[in-house]
Chains A and B, each alone.
Chain A
Amino acid sequence: MKKFSIIFLFLLTTSCMKDWLDREPRTILSDQQVWNDPKQIVALLANFYDRLPSGSGLVDVNDGADGRLFQWRDMANLDDAMWSGQSNEDGRNNMTSYNYSSWYLWNYTFIRDLNLALENIATYGVNLTDSQKKQYSAELRFLRAFNYFELVKRMGGVPLITSQLIYDYSGNVSNLQQPRAKESAIYDFIASEVDAIRNDLGNDGSVSRANKYTALALKSRAMLYAASIAKYNSLMAAPISTPGGEVGIPASMANNYYQQSLAASQEIINSGAYTLYRNNPDAGENFFEAVTKKASNKEVIFVKDYLLPTRKHVFSYDNIARGIREDNLGSSSVTPSLNLVESYEYLDGTNGALKIRTADNTDFIYYDKVQDIFANKDARLYGTVIYPGTTFKGLPLSIQAGVMVWNDSRNAYDVVEGSDLGTTYTDGKLLTGTSGPHRSIQEVSNTGFYLKKFIDPNDKTSTRGVQSDVWWVWFRLGEVYLNATEAAFELGQTGTALNYINTLRERAGFPANSVTLLTTERIRNERRVELAFEDHRLWDMKRWRIADKVWNGSSASADAMVYALYPYRVIRPGNVHDGKYVFVKMVATRFRAPRFFQLGNYYTAIDQSVLNNNPKIIKNPFH
């Protein structure tokens, strides 16, 4: 007891010391500490860059509270590909229609964090140099503009919040309830932000942090979207719009947006800071490397980078071709469709439809080797898709659905397919390849094709133990060329447009000046084949306002269904065709419901909880 009193006394005396309780916390960083230390600011920036959302990407993240969104599986939801992986995801092949809440994004937590960082750096960053302050603020504003672009292309005009909203405990929240801005106002905001910050960004030559050209690439794309929405929405039989302009941009604004897009694209192209990747003399391999290879790649402008052994993803594990997978599970999830394969033109500029049947449709066309049907195709096909008869990682792919055995009594072929992969027919030769295709087995291509773009070409990267560090490309020069082509063409500068599109096609193996007559369809198809699986197709179809026509929900439609191409070996002893290969085109067997994009899908439905919390927010049309 006596001891206790002494301690108590001691405590009493010492506690009177000044500032005894005024101490720096040891476990929490204060605002002053964070916003005056470049290292900590960069660490925060890394967090913010990591939270930029994407439609597909290479990983699977959907964290609404944090604002992150990456759904690589969504690559299988359109007409460029279908799902051939684990059968519990087969719903992607059976969607009766796209849900009105598809592609939803409302990540104001991220916007708030950015606004908070911008204000804090101004308030607390007293020890930073002016140029440091400028650069970090510019990066934060770039990230905010980027995120608003992700919001506006999905939701239409959204509330434009550029400062912290603080509750004053008055019981009245009406000052926190902001209405939606006009759709055009969001696009204008993106343009003006890019113009304001472009010279402060620094980071020259960086592909993972934003520099001047990253910002211009954002402007090039965003202005093109705004322009085409202004033009093509007004051309609809009944334009989609709201009275307040939250959705829909007047046609009169199209020209100005096209000009802004073209100017941004030309500044990037003419700067010489980036060049189209041409390091490999083989045009097909070159195109694969242009997206995937990191070393001395001057084409990519902005990426989400990964780095083994710690920063990695399982995209290659999930999507590697079945026959060459290195793990005991996985593979083959997103498999390109015949629709996409046929959209790649022949090198002489003719339509890319594959020649399967004779002109009078009485017999197959016979090919000596299974890859011969793909001869003289646009080299980008080889760089994007693994098709029968090719190799990957130096390993040959065995892609054959079965055999066609001539039946003399019926005067026709009997189709024989293996019940398993890697099977041998009674003649001792291949029946069904180790990579299929197969009509029903999961984790083997159902279409006859495999994805190549974004698949890691290095050893063991398709195992769950090692994984892959292929980067996700946000912006690359190839897209900027296409943006410039489209904007110039819409502005009537056809000569300029032809120059850009032909430069890009030359890189893909076409001869010089391969396009002489430019049309909207040609430009649209060029975007489809050049930018396949880089998260463009959906947004392009939306801004051109043709998604509801192409994906019309009719199983009789050539575009709304996903088609497959099955190769067969011919067994017809004594005949000239014996041992050759024939191909059958059909609707992929695991694909059951046509793609159905309704008018209500042009703008995603705003969640009911958002509407309940803020009565000033109006619904999008058709919801």
Chain B
Amino acid sequence: MMRNLIIASLLLVLVAGCKKDNYEKPKSTLTGRVVYDKNALGVRSNGVQVELWQHGYALFSKIPVYVGQDGAFSAILFNGDYKLVLRQGNGPWLDNADSVDVRVNGSTSVDVTVKPYFIISNASFAKSGTQLTATVTVQQINNNLPLESVNLYIGNTNIVDQVNNIRSVSATPDISGVVNLQMTLPADAAYFARVGVKTAGVAEQVYSAVQEVK
């Protein structure tokens, strides 16, 4: 009897306690991509972020939104007006401190246009035994900073970049023509491959799409 009473009162507390003074969790979603010339730019997962700021509240600090390796990002937010801005000196593109006004209401989508230093196009990978050859076209979009290197990465999972890789080769080629990079694979097996372009003085690279080679 006593035990039932205790359980009953505990249940009552639990049920009643959850009702009051709790906010609804945010439900609206903001999705978007970092684009140049309408194409999303490949980046390092967990490396590049955009910032969301909201004025009008006592606590004024950024909401960091990481950009996935395919250049897309998403955040679950409360409805409201936000300012979206690139993190300065973070991505493989020119700094731009201009913010984009974003009104989040339900499901919202926004594309952030950037000016990258370099872009990669026509990436293709050919595997023959333990030899992997990557062929890419690297195009310089603006001349503010020089090319440091073009890198080929391979990994065991489909998250591949300068940090998450099992082997890499690096070269500083002439990019006026098609760039070829060669690598000896650890074994004759399937890997995920990706090419990144490093701009001197910029930590983050711009990458091609990840591709499985087998």
Contacts and interface: CB of A to CB of B under 8 A. Distances in A.
A554 B153 CA distance: 11
Nearest to B204: A598
Interface in B38-91: 46, 60-62, 87-90
A621 B62 CA distance: 17
A603 to B, nearest CB: 11
A563 to B, nearest CB: 18
A248 to B, nearest CB: 12
A608 B60 contact: yes
For A548, A554, A594, the residue with the greatest tally of chain B CB atoms inside 10 Å of its CB is: A554
Interface in A590-623: 594, 596, 598-600, 608-609, 612, 619, 621-623
14 contacts: A237-B145, A237-B148, A237-B200, A237-B201, A556-B167, A594-B163, A599-B89, A599-B203, A600-B90, A600-B203, A608-B62, A622-B88, A622-B89, A623-B89
List of 4 A-B pairs having minimum Cβ-Cβ separation, nearest first: A238-B201, A237-B200, A622-B89, A599-B203
A553 B201 contact: no
A356 B88 CA distance: 47
Contacts of B88: 619, 621-623
Interface string A348-365: 000000000000000000
Give the secondary structure class of B's interface. Answer: loop
B165 interface: yes
B162 interface: yes
Give the secondary structure class of A's interface. Answer: loop
Interface in B150-187: 162-163, 165-168
Contacts, number: 52
Contacts of A596: 163
Contacts of A622: 88-90, 203
Interface string B80-122: 0000000111100000000000000000000000000000000
B89 A608 contact: no
Given A554-B162, A600-B89, A238 B62 contact: no
Nearest to B147: A237
A556 B166 contact: yes
Contacts of B62: 608
A621 B202 CA distance: 11
B129 interface: no
A622 B201 CA distance: 10
A548 B203 CA distance: 9
Interface of A: 96-97, 236-239, 548, 552-556, 594, 596, 598-600, 608-609, 612, 619, 621-623
Contacts of A239: 201
Contacts of A594: 163
Contacts of B61: 608-609
Given A554-B168, A596-B163, A236 B201 contact: yes
Contacts of A599: 89, 201-203
A246 to B, nearest CB: 14
A594 B164 CA distance: 10
Interface in B124-160: 145-146, 148
A238 B202 contact: yes
Nearest to B61: A608
A423 to B, nearest CB: 35
A612 B60 contact: yes
A556 B186 CA distance: 13
A554 B169 CA distance: 12
Contacts of B200: 237-238
Contacts of B168: 554, 556
B166 A553 contact: no
B49 to A, nearest CB: 11
